[in-house]
Structure 1
Amino acid sequence: MTLETTWRLMRGDELLGEIVVEEADFPWQSGRFIPQQGFAGVKPWFDESTALVDAEDYEAFDRSYDRIEESLTLVAPDGPVDGFLLHVWDDRASFRC
């Protein structure tokens, strides 16, 4: 994968944010997260999932993450991906597909 690609986080037709990939360490990619106005509505979901991972409460994380996976779409430069794990904190994001 070429670095400096831009991925998009979507809820339906609404752009919630962009991830400018700066690092790739298979299977994970990470980079700058550029939130858009609509991201504020789902930010608490990512805050909660990060807190659960930090607490090593993986069962609760799985339940919490379901709403992210069911409500949002991660779009690669060549189109939407099926199944993804995305962490967003501050101005950074890390994901795998």
Structure 2
Amino acid sequence: MKDAWQLRRGEEVIGRLVLETVDMFWYDCRFEASTGWTTLRPHMEALRAAAERSDMDAIHKVDEAISALSLELAPEDGGEPIRDFLVRIKGDSARFRY
């Protein structure tokens, strides 16, 4: 079984990340959206737009807004949740680092 995490905001499940590969410090995953995805989707769209413009200030502001959501990655194997991380989601792909 591959490593997997639930991306959560409190009890709300935003989605599930299933590990595909590790690239240096980033964990590349398959993303399966859940009902809470609508909470995070606008932030990911803003992040992608800022990255396309190479606007580092905007990227940092969106990352701060995402951090303010108090998200966590809860390992499905019952391990300790990750609370300090960066996440990027596009379609059915996600990557995170902590």
Common topology (TM > 0.5): yes
Give the count of matched residue pairs: 95
Secondary structure in 2 aligned to 1:51? helix
- Structure 1's 82 and 11: CA in aligned 2 closer, same or farther, altered over 3 A? closer
Q: 1:46 and 1:75 mapped to 2: Cα distance?
A: 20
| Cα distance in 2 between the residues matched to 1:82 and 1:34 | 20
Question: What is the aligned-residue identity percentage?
Answer: 28
User: Is there any run of 5+ residues in structure 1 with no aligned partner, and where?
Assistant: none
Give the match for residue 25 of structure 2: 27
Shift of 1:41: 2.5
Instruction: Identify unmatched segments of 5+ residues in structure 2.
Output: none
Residue of structure 1 equivalent to 2:73: 74
Matching of residue 12 in structure 1 with residue 10 in structure 2: yes
Q: Which residue of 1 aligns with 2:56?
A: 58
CA distance in 2, matches of 1:82, 1:32: 20
After superposing on structure 2, the runs of 4+ consecutive aligned residues of structure 1 that deviate more than 4 Å are none
CA RMSD in angstroms comes to: 1.5
3-state DSSP of counterpart to 1:37: coil
Q: What is the TM-score with the length of structure 1 in the denominator?
A: 0.88
Q: TM-score normalized by structure 2?
A: 0.87
